Structure 1
Amino acid sequence: MVFKRRDRRPIGRIVLEALWPRGGWARAARYVQLRVNRLPDPPDRIARGIFAGVLTTFTPFYGFHFFTAALIAWIMRGNILAAILSTFFGNPLTYVPIGVIAMKTGYWLLGLEADKDHGSIGKKFVKAGQDLWDNFIAIFTPDKTDWSHLKIFYDEVFFPYMVGGILPGLIAGTIAYYVSLPLITAFQNRRKGAIKAKLAELKKKKAREAK
């Protein structure tokens, strides 16, 4: 295959690079910034895409952030690729504080209190996953399905996270929009100026050669 990697990476290395990319997160952030700046679209459309991407990172739809960001950007008529690239805002360094903020905000908005009888969030994740697996096996066996742990997970983790992520997501997305808009505008204007200067220099060169 044309795009197949020549060096086959072991699973451990793949996981490590997902948590800490080669060159560090600063270099990865710089790469994303350059890609966003070079997108061929008006600055306001790109900034709306960035808003969508940052907002998406505050949702609990892990594994579907690309699709969610693309959908929000499409609804807002923003740049879809900018939205997908901006989901980089959610990464192993930021997911924990984002999750804590979203959960605390959700519990506050919904007037809920943490139920310690059902265990920690980690245990709720594990038990919900076990419910899914056990109920899948029950399709092929006489065992009865039991969704109790999955319901607890939805009521005490997923729904509060989803509700609580909206407000901080809107705030973070709005900040990202207003910060990125003038920066992208300045970059594009500078780039247009450089292209015009090169074209003018080429015209002068051709005029000199024609004499």
Structure 2
Amino acid sequence: MRVMRLSASPHAIATGVAAGAASSATPFIGFHIVIALALAYLLSGNLVAAGIATALANPLTIPLILTAIYEVGTAILGVHDSAGLSGDKILGMLRHLELAELWQPLLKPMLIGALPVSLASAVIFYIAAFWAARLFQSRRRSLVRESRAGHISTERK
């Protein structure tokens, strides 16, 4: 509701929400807000809406997002055998920052998979936010008109 109350156009609000949704579907945890604000700025979207929409990536959804982008990335790259990389091995590589060893089995598929997932979530959230903002703003305008009409008619009495 906070996003719908913004005084920007439905397009600007929806563009900001789409930027926040797109950045939330990336593996760059900790940088989602920066990415969302940069995208919203470049696309003339609402910066507040972009910042609020990054809440889509939260402790409950991040594991789902990371799994989705990894699975999409491995499907695009045609990687079928990921059984050779255990969770303990990945944690060990992360502790020792062996990024060269993490690139092929983990980071590359996640970055590749983030592109279509981010694009899809941006399109879905743009459409939803645009129509929601448009509906909310038209209802708000009609309520204001009705209250002004009621206020004017009571003044004349």
Range into which the TM-score falls when normalised by the shorter chain = 0.7 to 0.9
Give the secondary structure class of the aligned counterpart of 2:2.
helix
Q: 1:81 to 1:114 in 2, by over 3 A?
A: farther
Task: Structure 1: state its 5+ residue gaps.
Answer: 1-33, 133-148
Counterpart of 1:68 in structure 2 is 35
Q: Which runs of 5+ in 2 are unaligned?
A: none
By how many angstroms is 1:109 displaced? 1.9
The correspondence of residues 94-133 of structure 1 with structure 2, limited to 5 A, is: 94-120=61-87, 123-124=89-90, 126-132=91-97
Alignment match of 1:160 (pick from 102, 105, 109): 109
Percent of paired sites with the same residue:
28
Give the structure-1-normalised TM-score.
Answer: 0.67
Number of corresponding residues: 157
Which has the higher Rg, Structure 1 or Structure 2? 1
Highest RCO, 1 vs 2 (Cα 8 Å, sep ≥ 6): 2
Q: 1:118 to 1:182 in 2, by over 3 A?
A: closer
- Whether contact under 8 Å (1:127, 1:150) holds in the other structure is no
Does the 8 A contact of 1:46 with 1:82 survive in 2?
yes
Cα deviation per residue 1:138-169 (whole Å; 9 max; x = unaligned)? Answer: xxxxxxxxxxx222223322222111011122
Match of 2:124? Answer: 175
SS in 1 for 2:3: helix
Partner of 2:48: 81
Structure 1 residues 106-160: Cα deviation after superposition (integer angstroms, max 9, x where no partner): 122223344544432x642x3344225xxxxxxxxxxxxxxxx222223322222
Using the TM superposition, give the Cα deviation of residue 39 of structure 1 relative to its aligned residue in structure 2, in angstroms.
Answer: 0.8
- Describe how 1:29-68 pairs up with structure 2 within 5 A: 34-68=1-35
Q: TM-score, normalized by length of structure 2?
A: 0.88
Shift of 1:199: 2.1
Contact kept, 8 Å, 2:85 with 2:105, in 1: the verdict is no
Q: In the aligned structure 2, how far is the partner of 1:114 from the partner of 1:73?
A: 38
Deviations 1:164-193 (A, max 9, x none): 011122112211211221221011011011
